[in-house]
Chains A and B, each alone.
Chain A
Amino acid sequence: MKILVCISNVPDTTTKVKFVDGNTKLDTTGIQWIINPWDELSLTRALEVKDDASTGIKSVTVAHVGPATTEPTIRKALAIGADDAIRINAEPTDAYFVAAQLAEVVKKEQFDIIVCGIESSDFNGSSVGGMLSEFLGYPSVSAVSGLKIENGQVVINREIDGGKEIINIPTPFVAIVQKGIAKEPRIAAMRGIMMARTKPIKLYEPIAIEPLTQVVSFEMPKPRAACKFVDAENPKQLIELLQNEAKVI
């Protein structure tokens, strides 16, 4: 079986975002780019599953929609342990566009398990994985916090309110994962970084797709009022403020 992990290239999560061109574009000056955190966890879990020889996973591929400038992020995924990569050479315009590009490539390359992070930390669309599954007509499970293969059967944990469901799903399918799928992201070792330089990145040109959405502008969150401090010896005052001023308890 072959696993595909879809990865997105996002600003480091500690970035203080700023916008340019009349607040329509992200100011990319000085930004460190990383693998989207949920995609990194997805990749980690895919590699763990492959490491267990009994699962019969032959390869873990990463796919990404982005221009050539995003290749360092793909190399990072290869350094962590992906066997090979696919880059679709296009500026990602919206989730629909990205999912349509990925679907086109999956139809050609064929994978058994496709894993996507629940959302990207930049546009927070929570859409690409679900859209991809619908383009392909594959079953999908969202809120996946566990994925394993037992005697050739894929078993998934789906988070529900106050617990989880254990689900059997036939391949091919799309798993949309969240925190819990892997304990911590795997870190690239020196050997992995060396090997990543020679691993193949297959290039596809995009198909013509009209995005369905358009960002008109960005804005910063409204600043909050200054913090009111209460003496540590007198928390009673805090309770009074919460009761009478904030009226929340």
Chain B
Amino acid sequence: MSVLVFTENWDGKFKKLSFELASYASKIAEMLNTDAIALSIGNVDESELKKLGSFGVKKIINVNNEALKNLDNQAYTSVIAEIAQKEGSKVIILSNNNTGKGLAPRLSVRLKAAIGAGVSQLPLSVSPFTVYKRAFSGNAFAHLELKTDVKIITLSQNSFELIESANGASIENANVQVDGSIVKTQVKEVQKQTGKILITDAEIVVSGGRGMKSPDNWGPLEELAKLLGAATACSRPVSDEGWRSHEEHTGQTGKIIAPNLYFAIGISGATQHIAGVSSSKFIVAINTDKDAPIFSAAQYGIIGDASKVLPKLVEAVKEAKGK
């Protein structure tokens, strides 16, 4: 028996997300009186793999194969399923990000394993195995029983703390045969912006809405984000109008995020917007309308016009940071 965690890497490097997953898996392993095993697929060197060992896993399995260079859901599913079966894994953990959402459902059918998707804390109980998951797009939570022998959990990003604990982890290079012919998808081109802080990774997100009034008014908002090391985001009307790219849209149908701090500037806070950001640890709202629903979701508020408040806020941050 074991708990298996799939730890994604980005160009051979892990992110905080990978360590959150390892921490989470180790805690579940503790609840089940067993060990957590981390699986890494791709070209990751040993010193990087070792980092996973600081978060409680007992073993790190490394699968590096040319056929697995790009994410192909069928090929990756086969590898994860093979390792899970070999290691007798009773719980398999993935991130609830794009990759996890592509793989977890395929694994579910392959292994006839129930999924708890979008889980943000440890299981409520392990017998019966009941998880606490997001439902109705953040407007409610469900206690969901996973009724199968093997269970799959996808963990929401930035919802579980890092827990450092060394467990003398060993690294095993697994020789998994991958028949190249099962890879049906062919990546022709990769278009990537570098150097930009990703909304889903950011600890702080600065987001603007219709109250910004024009696509030309984002200078101070971007400056604030830069000073705070934050990512920039926007509400749906702003991306629908084409003021900002749809990749910045946070909310129910856009990106669902859980940063430590979220600035909602000129955003009134429609249910759909709140649904996408309500897991933020702290929300600051700046809005002209004191009755705007965003103030019910926020811990801190300023009633005022974004164009007047933002420059003052930028100055205050500069002062506080001694810049």
Contact = CB atoms under 8 A, between A and B. Distances in A.
A121 interface: yes
A141 B204 contact: no
B188 A238 contact: no
Contacts of A41: 253
A127 B102 CA distance: 8
Given A220-B140, A224-B297, A238-B300, A134 B106 contact: yes
Interface stretch (B57-65, B143-151, B211-219): B143-151
A134 B110 contact: yes
Contacts of B96: 126
A210 to B, nearest CB: 8
B140 A169 contact: no
Interface residues of A, number: 86
Chain A contact residues: over half helix, strand or loop, or mixed?
Answer: mixed
Given A126-B101, A134-B110, A13 B137 contact: yes
B175 interface: no
Contacts of B127: none
B146 to A, nearest CB: 6
Contacts of A219: 140-143
Interface string A168-188: 111001001001100110000
B71 to A, nearest CB: 8
Nearest to A161: B198
B106 A130 contact: yes
B43 interface: no
A143 B185 contact: no
Contact of A37 (B10, B188, B253, B297): B253
Please tell me the size bucket of the interface on B: 35 or more
Interface stretch (B34-42, B85-93, B302-310): B302-310
A123 B113 CA distance: 18
Given A123-B142, A134-B109, A213-B114, A166 B189 contact: yes
A218 B108 CA distance: 23
Given A162-B192, A232-B303, A126 B117 contact: yes
Interface of B: 10, 70, 72-74, 77, 96, 98-99, 101-106, 108-110, 112-118, 130, 133-148, 154, 184-194, 196, 198, 200-201, 203-204, 228, 240, 246-247, 249, 252-254, 260-261, 270-272, 275, 278, 281-282, 284-285, 295-304, 308-309, 312-313, 315-317, 319-320
Interface of A: 11, 13-17, 19, 37-38, 41, 95-96, 99, 118-119, 121-131, 133-135, 139-143, 145, 155, 158-170, 173, 176, 179-180, 183-184, 211-221, 224-225, 227-233, 235-236, 238-243, 246, 248-249
